[in-house]
Amino acid sequence: MTTSKLALLGGTPTITSPLEPFRSMGEDEVHAAAAVVRGGVLSAYIGAPGDGFMGGPHVRDFEARAAAYFGVKHAIAVNSWTSGLVAAVGAIGVEPGDEIITTPWTMSATAMAVLHWNAIPVFADIDPQTFNIDPASVERLITPRTRAILAADIFGQSADMPALRAIADRHGLKLLCDTAQAPGSLTGSLTGTRFTGTLADIGGFSLNYHKHIHCGEGGILVTDDDRLARRLCLIRNHAESVIGSEEPAELANMIGFNFRLGEIEAAIASVQLGKLEARVRSRQRAAAQLDAGLAGLHGLRTPKVVADGTHVYYVYGMTFDPATAGVPRAKVVEALRAEGVPGVMAGYQNLHLLPMFRHKIAYGTQGFPWTSPYCSSDVTYGPGTCPVAEELHASTFIGLSLCLCELPPQDVDLMVTAIRNVWSQLDALKAA
In 71-203, which residue ranges form alpha helices assigned H by DSSP?
81-91, 108-116, 135-141, 161-171
In a domain? residue 310: no
Nearest Cα residue to 1 out of 431, 419, 287, 429? 419
More confident site: 399 or 190: 399
Is the pLDDT at 177 greater than 70, yes or no?
Answer: yes
In a domain? residue 415: no
In a domain? residue 426: no
Confidence of residue 190 (pLDDT cuts 50, 70, 90): low
Q: What is the pLDDT of residues 329-386, one digit of tens each?
A: 999 999 999 999 999 999 999 999 999 999 999 999 999 999 999 998 889 999 999 9
Quote the CA–CA distance of 90 and 111 in Å, as a whole number.
13
The distance from CA 63 to its chain's CA centroid, rounded to whole angstroms, is 20
Q: What's the average model confidence in pLDDT over 398-416?
A: 93
By the 8 A CB rule, do 156 and 313 touch? yes
By the 8 A CB rule, do 316 and 402 touch? yes
226: domain CATH number is 3.40.640.10
In a domain? residue 293: no
In a domain? residue 79: yes
What letter does residue 128 receive in the DSSP assignment? T
How many distinct structural domains can be found in the chain? 1
Quote the CA–CA distance of 84 and 97 in Å, as a whole number.
21
Q: What is the pLDDT of residues 28-82, one digit of tens each?
A: 999 999 999 999 999 999 999 998 999 999 999 999 999 999 999 999 999 999 9
Is the pLDDT at 2 greater than 70, yes or no?
Answer: no
In a domain? residue 93: yes
